[in-house]
Amino acid sequence: MVMLKGAFIYPGSLGYTLYYTTNFIFTGLAVATAFHAKLFNIGGEGQAYVGSLGILLATALFAPFLPALFVVLLCIICSALIGAAWAFIPGYLQAKRGSHVVITTIMFNFLASSLMVYLLAGPLIQLGQQSPQSDLIPESAQLASFETFFSLFGIDITSSPLNLSFLLGLFALFVFWVLIWKTRLGYEIRAVGKNQDAANYAGINVPKIIIITMTISGAFAGLLAVNEVMGVQHRAILNFTAGYGFTGIAVALMGRNHPVGIFFASLLFGALFQGGAELDFEFQSITRDMVLLIQGMIILFSGALAYMFNPALSKIFNNITKNGANDD
Amino acid sequence: MMIDFLFQTLWALDATLRVATPLMLCAMAGIFSERSGIVDISLEGKLLSGAFVAATIASLTGSVWLGLMGAICASVMMSLLHGFACITHRGDQVVSGVAINFLASGLTVILGIAIFKRGGQTPTLSSGERFRPIELWFVDALDNVPVIGTIYRELISGHSLLVYVALLCVPIASFILYKSRFGLRLRAVGESPIAVDSAGVSVTWLRYRALIVGGVFCGIAGAYLSISHGANFVREMSAGKGYIALAAVIFGNWRPIRAFWACLMFGFLDAITSRLQDIDLPLIGEVPAQLMSALPYIMTIILLSGFIGRPSPPSAIGVPYKK
């Protein structure tokens, strides 16, 4: 109950829940895209982390002379591009050099983390600051929070970190749906995922599709930086990804790689994160770490043990249908 | 100058050995599991749960040996779960490994808070509740011998029991893998499970045994972290060591002795990182510490991409066996 109240009912809590949801939509989509080609992208964490560099780069290059709308768009594109680039290399290595994408994306997570520590504590550190964080990004590149956005229309809502990137998240879900089920590329991605040999014989360039899939996957992950850097923190800080990239795995598995499923799984995890924070507050004995455990359980049961109940269930269903047939 | 250099080198090698110990144990675990055809991302989780249980039991009972036993049991349980998911139910091995890593990082903290109420840490162990450094034989006798005496005292003697256990594990793993019947079958099941099956040997049981052996190694490594090298359990104390060990397995081309050298190399990099800070190297200049800590990963990626020789993983790795 505390968890439910903490996630939806307390003032501002729904905002927090949806803010977490936004993060999970992006990382869930990243993992799901790769899953459709039967690739396992564990690197969402790293791709999102370096995605923030795209934003810093875009603001440095364009903010001084472009209007806010273009700056925001360019920032979004650049964060996706850098995330994509970070996933491109593992994709390329898998497709052309045969190194396994799981191992390389894990390694790339560590590389991203080292790189960001180096940059945030060194070249990019805010002047006169000790803590490793970048300068504030210019106001033209900051995304309005829902609070300011709604106050434009005279509606008052409680302050929360929820910002316009939630809408970007919903848009990304739609793009994902179109991409996977309505385009030729999506068909090829799914074909490679179902059977690489068959796809190859059907004239699909398998290595190319693997590289493209990983790149798109990385782009989705990179967008997480939009929510965190442009929407909430307004700067790149150390470890702002906070494990959201890994949670994306559970989200994608639970959402069955479908946008609607991913949305609801993200909402569930958003509620768990926010409600978990509330639990943290009320009972000192139960913490956020419970969410980690739940995450592990979900990955275990809906991922690794997905087929465990199949024999038993199919037996039951067979019995039911048999009985039904006898009744007729 | 000469003496100073000797001490510096000894110090670095000594630190290398300490850092490399959990890597060696986990790498041997990884080799057993992967050679039997099971991808083992879950080294990290097993290491972490071993570390937690070791510190918890040692602090509750005051006995290092019970702590070590507990660590091994916990880690083997994780292995069995991995086996249950991906051998018995033929689930995805990577997904299962990731799940175990999450379970370990969640469970260790939750249980830690429930038992000790210290925000996920365990109480600091007294020296009687830890594996202490051991003085080897003849240390004093050899003291008078120049160079060798110093090396013996500083580098070879004076580690905790688990360091020597880890060093012993490498030749033992190599022996089991290459000289025993179990090892022969284990390697065969990683290359061609159907051949092993048609010879009348159970693929399932062989793979389970490989995972159990791996669990034992990881458990010892976990105990080393929390009740030998450290004096308590801290959340996420494995800090990616399981992944570095996995990198060492790949670097060692799935062979124990080569993986051992890879562990020493990665350990050495780790050990000298703190030393090299703020020091200008000739030609290169100052090396950022982050670059040093990223080096194992960079090297593994380069190796995996086949730019230095071709890695040859077991051919049946990652494929569930269906009879």
- Structure confidence at residue B49 (pLDDT): 96
Q: How far apart are CA B253 and CA B177, in angstroms?
A: 14
Q: Which pLDDT tens digit goes with each residue over B164-195?
A: 999 999 999 999 999 999 999 999 999 999 99
Phi, psi of B285 (to 5 degrees): 85, -160
Main-chain phi, psi angles of A200, to 5 degrees:
-60, -45
Q: Which residues contact A195 (CB under 8 A, 6 or more apart)?
A: none
Lowest mean pLDDT among A138-152, A203-217, B38-52, B227-241: A138-152
Q: What is the pLDDT of residue B7?
A: 78
Average pLDDT of B55-66?
Answer: 92
Closest CA to B208 of B237, B239, B186: B186
Q: Note the pLDDT of residue A323.
A: 66
- A282-286, B131-135, B198-202, B257-261, range with the lowest pLDDT: A282-286
d(CA A221, CA B164): 44
Q: Does B99 lie at the interface with A, CB-CB under 8 angstroms? A: yes
Distance CA B278, CA A196 (A): 51
The amino acid present at A247, given as its one-letter code, is: T
Nearest CA-CA partner of A50 in A248, A241, A308, A247: A241
Per-residue pLDDT band at B277 (split at 50, 70, 90): low
Residue B139: count other Cβ atoms within 10 Å of its Cβ.
14
Supply B144's token pair. 């008078």
- Chain A residue numbers with beta carbons less than 8 Å from the beta carbon of B96 are 300, 303-305
> Is pLDDT of B159 > 80?
yes
Q: Is A98 on the interface with B (CB under 8 A)?
A: yes
Cβ-based neighbours of B279, under 8 Å, separated by 6 or more: B286
Say if CB A217 and CB A26 are below 8 A apart. Answer: no
Select from A55, A81, A33, A72 the least CA-distant residue to A235.
A55
Q: Do A230 and A23 form a contact (C-beta atoms < 8 A)?
A: no
What is the rounded average pLDDT for all residues in chain B?
88
C-alpha gyration radius of chain A? 21
Pairing label, strands B285-286, B159-160: unpaired
Contact B103 A297 (CB under 8 A): yes
Chain B residue with Cα closest to A307: B89
Selected residues 187-246 of chain B with any CB under 8 Å from a CB in chain A: 240, 243, 246
> Given the structure tokens 């370096």, which residue do they identify?
A50
The pLDDT value recorded for residue A328 is 46
Ramachandran sector of residue B117 (left: φ over 0; alpha: ψ -120 to 50; beta: rest): left
- From its phi and psi, is residue A163 left (phi > 0), alpha (psi between -120 and 50) or beta? beta
DSSP string, A3-17: HHIIIIISTTHHHHH
User: Measuring CA to CA, how many Å separate B302 from each of A42, A166, B181, B297, B317?
Assistant: 19, 38, 35, 9, 21
Chain B residue with CA closest to A100: the answer is B304
What pLDDT, in 10s, does the model give residues A151-168? 888 777 777 888 899 999
Copy the structure tokens of residue B296. Answer: 């194992």
pLDDT of residue B287: 72
B304 CB neighbours in chain A (<8 A) are 93, 97, 99-100, 103-104
The complex scores an ipTM of 0.85
Cβ of B297 within 8 Å of Cβ of A107? The answer is yes
| Phi, psi for B210 (deg, rounded to 5) | -60, -40
Cα separation, B40 vs B76, whole angstroms:
13
Give yes or no for A138 touching B (CB within 8 A): no
| Alpha-carbon gap: A259 to the closest alpha carbon of chain B (Å) | 21
Closest CA–CA distance from residue A68 to any residue of chain B (Å): 35
Q: Which residues of B touch A107 (CB under 8 A)?
A: 243, 247, 297-298, 300-301
Residue type, B24: M
pLDDT over 80 at B91, yes or no:
yes
Nearest to B304 among A99, A287, A308 (CB): A99
Distance of CA B321 to the CA centre of its chain: 27
Interface of B with A in 129-188 (CB under 8 A): none
Give the per-residue pLDDT at A10: 73
Cα of A38 to nearest chain B Cα, Å: 11
Best of B116, B269, B305, B307 to substitute, by most chain A Cβ atoms within 10 angstroms, is B305
**Please, are residues A31 and A178 in contact by the beta-carbon 8 Å criterion?**
no
The closest alpha carbon to B259, from B244, B271, B241, belongs to B244
Of B286 and A190, the structure prediction assigns the larger pLDDT to: A190
pLDDT at B135 over 70: yes
Angstrom distances, CA of residue A169 to CA of A2, A179, A290, B252, B313: 28, 15, 26, 43, 39
Please name which of B239, B237, B248 lies closest in space to residue B296, comparing C-alpha atoms.
Answer: B248
| Cβ atoms B289, B274 nearer than 8 A | yes
CA dihedral A102, A106, A112, A118 (to 10 degrees): -150
Tell me how far apart the terminal alpha carbons of chain B are, to the nearest angstrom: 66
Nearest to A290 among B95, B106, B240 (CB): B106
User: Could you tell me which residues are beta bridge partners of residue A299?
Assistant: none
| CA dihedral sign, ordered A100, A101, A104, A110 | negative
Please give the model's pTM, rounded to 2 decimal places: 0.88
User: Which residue type, as a one-letter code, is found at position A316?
Assistant: I
Query: In A94-145, where does DSSP find H-type helix?
Result: 101-121
Select from A104, A253, A293 the Cβ nearest to the Cβ of B106: A293
Q: Dihedral of CA B22/B27/B28/B34: which sign?
A: positive
Chain B, nearest residue to A310 by Cα: B89
What gap in Å lies between CA A240 and CA A233, rounded to an integer? Answer: 9
Q: Is A184 on the interface with B (CB under 8 A)?
A: no
CB count in 10 Å sphere of residue B60 = 16
pLDDT digit string (tens) for chain A, length 328 residues: 666 777 777 777 888 899 999 999 999 999 999 999 999 999 999 999 999 999 999 998 888 888 888 899 999 999 999 999 999 999 999 998 878 888 899 999 999 999 999 998 888 888 777 788 888 888 888 888 888 888 888 777 777 888 899 999 999 999 999 999 999 999 999 999 999 999 999 999 999 999 999 999 999 999 999 999 998 988 888 888 888 999 999 999 999 999 999 999 999 999 888 877 776 666 655 567 788 888 889 888 888 787 777 777 778 878 877 765 555 4
User: A300 and B297 in contact by Cβ < 8 A?
Assistant: no
A112: contact with B, CB 8 A cutoff: no
CB contact under 8 A, B290 and A118: yes
